[in-house]
A and B are shown apart, each in its own frame.
Chain A
Amino acid sequence: MFLDMRNITKTFDALKALDNVSLQVCESEIHGLLGENGAGKSTLMNILAGAFPPTFGEIYLNGKKQENMTTHKANELGIRFIHQELNLVNDLKVYENLFLGEELTGAFGLLNKKQMIKKSAEVFKRMNIDIDPQEKVENLDTSRKQLVEIAKALLFESKLIIMDEPTTALTNKEIENLFVIMRSLKAEGVSIIYISHKMPELFQICDRYTVLRDGKLIESGNFSDIDEKKAAELLVGRSIIEDNKQDQGLVGEVILKVESLSCGAAFTNINFQLRKGEVLAITGLHGDGRGELAEALFGARPVSEGHISVNNKPLSLNSIDKVMKAGIGMVPRNRKERSIIKDMSIMDNMSMAHFIRNKTLLIKKYEAVERYNRNKKAIAIKAGSPDDNITSLSGGNQQKVIIARWLEIDSDIYILDNPTQGIDVGAKFEIYRIIYDLAKKGKSIIVFSAEFPEIYKVADRCLVMYKGQINAELTRDEITEVNVMYYATGSNMEGIR
């Protein structure tokens, strides 16, 4: 047994984040750590990496008890943590980031630039990616940043690598590359703890699993003994009822018309229509201009050309306020950066959009409380008091509060940009149900998503983007994973050149 964490308990104030959790990882093992958001995975890994000490419990490495762990000591012991959030300094070059805090020095303690650049290039070569070590990090897109983050762990001799959702921003090809590296690391005797929400990946790469739920250890075992359904059940602690998209067949008249919309290099010549009661998915791979398009539709990004009309009335895109007034609401991607107002209560977070749409000067507290109660019931938000801080909620419930924020202004069109990002399976299904209900009420919904199962579950129609353009329009019957990938990778463009 290489790593043995025994009976770890961690309390923050009165909150028990971990309750008597044990985790064993063998040498040369890829261990999948599963759990919904808030299950305690990150806390457990932070304790292992020395970010903070456990309240109770012991950690053994190679049978040797480790005490007073610090991040520095963990690094020396060969434990590397690849964080889910990118911890890169944008203003520095790639190689400077890789060696940050562990710079190679030569005579007189001066930096040995040449050596660092050379070593960086070697790592990238090994990972089979072409990133220039001298490139500034801010010039890289998200998937490349994530690869740099991973390279950071490979740069130094390590015995145990913790990967916290390393593939969220990666393309399939990059994920395959990563798996190749992981397998070769494994062959060298390195152990890996792999945290992910993506079941197929876990089953593909991991040997054993440990499931946490609500800070408690649920089960450890071999992946070969379970299937995806069983794993999902362990995760949420109940059987999942899967609703599937019901073909309604009756979508109404056109409500939104987008004509030759362009925005610099991000996307060009976008044309589509949206009907009443329709769920339109827009998908693609990284760098397809999807995110920019979502912002532009909401008036949050200036466009260089084209126009939009809602109910046959032209819509001015230079103010979010006006777009909201025209009946469009948007749940942005990346909840933490773009939706949550972290210093505010759940109730205030929920009321924000309503405040904007109803131009009164004062806040009516009783209305806000009513709003809170109504939504809490309608979309099953698990929360204590309306005055609690929004950050006290789990990711899924935070996202529901944000959705409630927009439900409150009763828009005709909802733009949901990656609405289930980083939330657990249970909450995902609940959000899909909200989408079904909205469509049933005659609302129109545009879902921007890169997750195929999600698109399949909700969409009536699907637009596939490739390099800033709409490459294909798929009807309900044509939405298959193969089709989506075919057009998202631009395979149909081959040979045209």
Chain B
Amino acid sequence: MIAIIKYNAGNIKSVENAVKRLGYNCIVTDDAEQIKSADKIIFPGVGEASSAMNCLKNTRLDELIKSLKQPVLGICLGQQLMCKYSEEGNTNCLGIFETTVKKFPPMEIVPHMGWNNLGSLKGNLFKGISDNDNFYFVHSYFSEICEDTAATCNYILTFSASLQRENFYATQFHPEKSAAIGQIVLKNFLSL
């Protein structure tokens, strides 16, 4: 069973749809027991960092997520919340990855919205993926490069398109919205 963590973030429907299309059973839940007993956990997110973190704290999902031993995949805001700190709303985040989240500089087109390719691909998530493959991004804040960086992307500057540490995986792009190529990444995660 795949658990998709439910909290006050949008875009959960499309993650659920994508997992189902790959033939996996999944539940969208905020129940600690259901999350703990799942084989894999997806931590999605579209929204604002401080209100999302508040919601996680109020429901004690913050401690739960950090304690998970199964593979966990954070997507978009999910990745950012797994970092140490975010400039968005001046927010202390989960601290799973050793990096901070910053706002793209002003006077450029923000959000970074659309299809972009990756670089410096590392790890199981990117099996079968090349530097020329494009993924769908939409974000105004980015995770800085760090030792956990599993893929980079260039827009205005170079940032972490993906992070990984132990059982924790994350993508800034939306694999569930990245057509066939995104499906490969999701499948790689689900078959870890």
The answer to whether A and B assemble together is: no
User: Which residues of B line the A interface, CB within 8 A?
Assistant: none
